[in-house]
Protein backbone atom coordinates (compact mmCIF):
# COMPACT_ATOMS: atom_id res chain seq x y z
CA UNK A 1 0.00 0.00 0.00
CA UNK A 2 1.15 3.54 -0.67
CA UNK A 3 0.94 6.28 1.90
CA UNK A 4 -2.05 8.58 1.27
CA UNK A 5 -3.27 6.60 -1.73
CA UNK A 6 -6.33 5.69 0.30
CA UNK A 7 -8.90 8.32 1.23
CA UNK A 8 -9.24 6.84 4.69
CA UNK A 9 -5.55 6.36 5.51
CA UNK A 10 -5.66 9.36 7.85
CA UNK A 11 -8.51 7.71 9.77
CA UNK A 12 -6.26 4.73 10.37
CA UNK A 13 -3.33 6.83 11.57
CA UNK A 14 -5.41 9.01 13.89
CA UNK A 15 -7.36 6.05 15.26
CA UNK A 16 -4.22 3.99 15.94
CA UNK A 17 -2.53 6.96 17.60
CA UNK A 18 -5.46 7.61 19.95
CA UNK A 19 -6.16 3.97 20.80
CA UNK A 20 -2.50 3.06 21.42
CA UNK A 21 -2.07 6.14 23.59
CA UNK A 22 -5.21 5.15 25.47
CA UNK A 23 -4.00 1.59 26.00
CA UNK A 24 -0.62 2.74 27.29
CA UNK A 25 -2.42 5.20 29.55
CA UNK A 26 -4.75 2.58 31.09
CA UNK A 27 -1.95 0.03 31.43
CA UNK A 28 0.15 2.50 33.43
CA UNK A 29 -2.77 3.16 35.78
CA UNK A 30 -3.13 -0.50 36.78
CA UNK A 31 0.63 -1.07 36.89
CA UNK A 32 0.91 1.73 39.45
CA UNK A 33 -1.71 0.27 41.79
CA UNK A 34 -0.72 -1.86 44.76
CA UNK A 35 -1.33 -4.98 42.65
CA UNK A 36 1.04 -3.86 39.86
CA UNK A 37 -0.84 -5.90 37.25
CA UNK A 38 -0.89 -5.10 33.55
CA UNK A 39 -4.37 -4.63 32.08
CA UNK A 40 -3.56 -3.96 28.42
CA UNK A 41 -1.58 -7.06 27.40
CA UNK A 42 -1.41 -10.65 28.54
CA UNK A 43 2.16 -11.84 27.91
CA UNK A 44 3.26 -10.55 31.30
CA UNK A 45 0.15 -11.99 32.90
CA UNK A 46 0.86 -15.49 31.64
CA UNK A 47 4.50 -15.20 32.71
CA UNK A 48 3.42 -14.19 36.22
CA UNK A 49 0.86 -17.00 36.26
CA UNK A 50 3.60 -19.57 35.70
CA UNK A 51 5.70 -18.05 38.49
CA UNK A 52 2.82 -17.90 40.99
CA UNK A 53 1.95 -21.51 40.12
CA UNK A 54 5.50 -22.65 40.87
CA UNK A 55 5.50 -20.87 44.24
CA UNK A 56 1.92 -21.95 45.04
CA UNK A 57 0.90 -18.32 45.45
CA UNK A 58 -2.76 -19.05 44.82
CA UNK A 59 -4.09 -15.65 45.88
CA UNK A 60 -2.05 -13.85 43.23
CA UNK A 61 -2.78 -16.68 40.81
CA UNK A 62 -6.51 -16.01 41.23
CA UNK A 63 -6.07 -12.27 40.62
CA UNK A 64 -3.96 -12.86 37.51
CA UNK A 65 -6.13 -15.55 35.96
CA UNK A 66 -9.29 -13.46 36.38
CA UNK A 67 -7.49 -10.48 34.83
CA UNK A 68 -6.57 -12.72 31.89
CA UNK A 69 -10.14 -13.99 31.58
CA UNK A 70 -11.66 -10.50 31.70
CA UNK A 71 -9.41 -9.46 28.80
CA UNK A 72 -10.66 -12.44 26.81
CA UNK A 73 -14.29 -11.62 27.60
CA UNK A 74 -13.72 -8.06 26.43
CA UNK A 75 -12.45 -9.39 23.11
CA UNK A 76 -15.44 -11.73 22.90
CA UNK A 77 -17.80 -8.76 23.22
CA UNK A 78 -15.98 -7.08 20.34
CA UNK A 79 -16.27 -10.23 18.26
CA UNK A 80 -20.00 -10.33 18.87
CA UNK A 81 -20.52 -6.69 17.88
CA UNK A 82 -17.90 -6.10 15.16
CA UNK A 83 -18.56 -8.38 12.19
CA UNK A 84 -15.70 -7.41 9.89
CA UNK A 85 -12.06 -8.47 9.80
CA UNK A 86 -11.05 -5.49 7.68
CA UNK A 87 -11.42 -1.80 8.49
CA UNK A 88 -14.96 -0.80 7.55
CA UNK A 89 -16.41 2.65 8.25
CA UNK A 90 -19.88 1.13 8.37
CA UNK A 91 -18.91 -1.08 11.31
CA UNK A 92 -20.22 -0.55 14.84
CA UNK A 93 -17.06 1.07 16.20
CA UNK A 94 -19.12 3.87 17.74
CA UNK A 95 -21.13 1.39 19.81
CA UNK A 96 -17.97 -0.37 20.97
CA UNK A 97 -16.21 2.86 21.97
CA UNK A 98 -19.23 4.05 23.94
CA UNK A 99 -19.45 0.67 25.68
CA UNK A 100 -15.75 0.95 26.54
CA UNK A 101 -16.41 4.37 28.03
CA UNK A 102 -19.27 2.92 30.10
CA UNK A 103 -17.10 0.07 31.40
CA UNK A 104 -14.34 2.50 32.35
CA UNK A 105 -16.85 4.75 34.13
CA UNK A 106 -18.11 1.70 36.02
CA UNK A 107 -14.50 0.91 36.93
CA UNK A 108 -14.15 4.34 38.57
CA UNK A 109 -17.40 3.83 40.50
CA UNK A 110 -16.21 0.43 41.72
CA UNK A 111 -12.92 1.85 42.94
CA UNK A 112 -14.74 4.73 44.61
CA UNK A 113 -16.79 2.25 46.65
CA UNK A 114 -14.12 -0.44 47.07
CA UNK A 115 -10.85 1.36 47.67
CA UNK A 116 -7.66 -0.33 46.39
CA UNK A 117 -9.64 -3.30 45.13
CA UNK A 118 -8.68 -5.71 42.37
CA UNK A 119 -12.00 -4.92 40.65
CA UNK A 120 -10.50 -1.74 39.21
CA UNK A 121 -7.88 -3.80 37.38
CA UNK A 122 -10.37 -6.41 36.18
CA UNK A 123 -12.72 -3.84 34.65
CA UNK A 124 -9.78 -1.99 33.06
CA UNK A 125 -8.58 -5.29 31.58
CA UNK A 126 -12.09 -5.97 30.28
CA UNK A 127 -12.17 -2.58 28.54
CA UNK A 128 -8.72 -3.17 27.03
CA UNK A 129 -9.86 -6.52 25.66
CA UNK A 130 -12.82 -4.75 24.08
CA UNK A 131 -10.57 -2.10 22.56
CA UNK A 132 -8.03 -4.53 21.17
CA UNK A 133 -10.85 -6.62 19.73
CA UNK A 134 -12.45 -3.73 17.85
CA UNK A 135 -9.27 -2.88 15.93
CA UNK A 136 -8.84 -5.06 12.89
CA UNK A 137 -6.79 -5.89 9.84
CA UNK A 138 -5.62 -3.18 7.49
CA UNK A 139 -3.85 -4.14 4.26
CA UNK A 140 -3.11 -7.63 5.64
CA UNK A 141 -1.46 -6.09 8.71
CA UNK A 142 -2.87 -6.71 12.18
CA UNK A 143 -3.32 -3.47 14.12
CA UNK A 144 -2.52 -4.13 17.76
CA UNK A 145 -3.35 -1.26 20.10
CA UNK A 146 -2.89 -2.75 23.57
CA UNK A 147 0.47 -4.53 23.32
CA UNK A 148 3.77 -4.05 21.52
CA UNK A 149 5.39 -7.47 21.17
CA UNK A 150 3.73 -8.22 17.84
CA UNK A 151 4.05 -4.61 16.67
CA UNK A 152 7.77 -4.59 17.46
CA UNK A 153 8.21 -7.86 15.59
CA UNK A 154 6.31 -6.42 12.62
CA UNK A 155 8.48 -3.31 12.80
CA UNK A 156 11.67 -5.35 12.55
CA UNK A 157 10.31 -7.41 9.66
CA UNK A 158 9.16 -4.26 7.84
CA UNK A 159 12.56 -2.60 8.26
CA UNK A 160 14.17 -5.75 6.85
CA UNK A 161 11.82 -5.67 3.85
CA UNK A 162 12.56 -1.98 3.22
CA UNK A 163 16.30 -2.67 3.39
CA UNK A 164 15.73 -5.24 0.64
CA UNK A 165 14.13 -2.55 -1.51
CA UNK A 166 10.44 -2.96 -0.74
CA UNK A 167 9.84 0.77 -0.45
CA UNK A 168 6.07 0.28 -0.71
CA UNK A 169 6.11 -0.85 2.95
CA UNK A 170 7.19 2.55 4.28
CA UNK A 171 3.63 3.38 5.30
CA UNK A 172 3.50 0.16 7.33
CA UNK A 173 6.62 1.40 9.09
CA UNK A 174 4.87 4.70 9.82
CA UNK A 175 1.86 2.88 11.26
CA UNK A 176 4.01 0.66 13.49
CA UNK A 177 6.15 3.54 14.76
CA UNK A 178 3.05 5.56 15.58
CA UNK A 179 1.67 2.59 17.54
CA UNK A 180 4.83 2.20 19.63
CA UNK A 181 5.40 5.91 20.29
CA UNK A 182 1.74 6.51 21.17
CA UNK A 183 1.67 3.60 23.65
CA UNK A 184 4.89 4.87 25.24
CA UNK A 185 3.58 8.43 25.57
CA UNK A 186 0.29 7.13 26.95
CA UNK A 187 2.23 5.30 29.65
CA UNK A 188 4.08 8.46 30.65
CA UNK A 189 0.91 10.54 30.90
CA UNK A 190 -0.91 7.70 32.66
CA UNK A 191 1.74 7.46 35.36
CA UNK A 192 1.65 11.23 35.87
CA UNK A 193 -2.16 11.24 36.02
CA UNK A 194 -2.34 8.31 38.45
CA UNK A 195 -0.02 9.91 41.01
CA UNK A 196 -1.90 13.18 40.70
CA UNK A 197 -5.52 11.97 40.53
CA UNK A 198 -5.36 8.28 41.54
CA UNK A 199 -8.15 6.16 39.97
CA UNK A 200 -9.97 9.31 38.84
CA UNK A 201 -7.33 9.53 36.11
CA UNK A 202 -9.38 6.91 34.26
CA UNK A 203 -11.96 9.64 33.57
CA UNK A 204 -9.66 10.91 30.81
CA UNK A 205 -9.78 7.56 29.02
CA UNK A 206 -13.52 7.16 29.57
CA UNK A 207 -14.32 10.63 28.22
CA UNK A 208 -12.01 10.05 25.24
CA UNK A 209 -13.85 6.83 24.38
CA UNK A 210 -17.22 8.57 24.60
CA UNK A 211 -16.07 11.48 22.42
CA UNK A 212 -14.60 9.23 19.71
CA UNK A 213 -17.65 6.95 19.78
CA UNK A 214 -20.17 9.77 19.38
CA UNK A 215 -17.96 11.50 16.79
CA UNK A 216 -17.99 8.29 14.74
CA UNK A 217 -21.79 8.14 14.95
CA UNK A 218 -22.09 11.76 13.79
CA UNK A 219 -19.63 11.21 10.93
CA UNK A 220 -21.55 8.15 9.72
CA UNK A 221 -24.78 10.12 9.87
CA UNK A 222 -23.41 13.13 7.97
CA UNK A 223 -21.71 10.99 5.32
CA UNK A 224 -24.66 8.57 5.18
CA UNK A 225 -22.43 5.55 5.73
CA UNK A 226 -24.20 2.22 6.24
CA UNK A 227 -23.19 -1.36 6.98
CA UNK A 228 -22.99 -2.36 3.31
CA UNK A 229 -20.23 -0.13 1.98
CA UNK A 230 -16.83 1.45 2.52
CA UNK A 231 -14.58 -1.51 3.13
CA UNK A 232 -10.88 -0.76 3.44
CA UNK A 233 -8.74 -3.83 2.84
Q: What is the value of pTM for the model shown?
A: 0.88
Q: How far apart are the first and last CA of the chain?
A: 10
Q: Encode pLDDT of 125-150 as tens digits.
A: 999 999 988 876 544 456 778 778 88
pLDDT score at 30: 95
Mean pLDDT of the chain: 86
Q: Encode pLDDT of 43-68 as tens digits.
A: 889 999 999 999 999 999 999 999 99
Q: Encode pLDDT of 162-176 as tens digits.
A: 999 998 889 889 989
Tell which residue, 126, 40, 140, has the closest CA to residue 85. Answer: 140
pLDDT of residue 4 exceeding 50, the answer is no
pLDDT score at 54: 96
Amino acid sequence: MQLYDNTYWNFILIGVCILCFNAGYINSLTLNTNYQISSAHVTGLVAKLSTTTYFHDWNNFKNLIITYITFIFGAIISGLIIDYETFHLGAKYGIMLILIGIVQSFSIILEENCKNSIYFIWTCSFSCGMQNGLTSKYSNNIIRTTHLTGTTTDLGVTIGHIMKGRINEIDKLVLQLISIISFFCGGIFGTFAYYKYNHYALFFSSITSFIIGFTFFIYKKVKKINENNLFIN
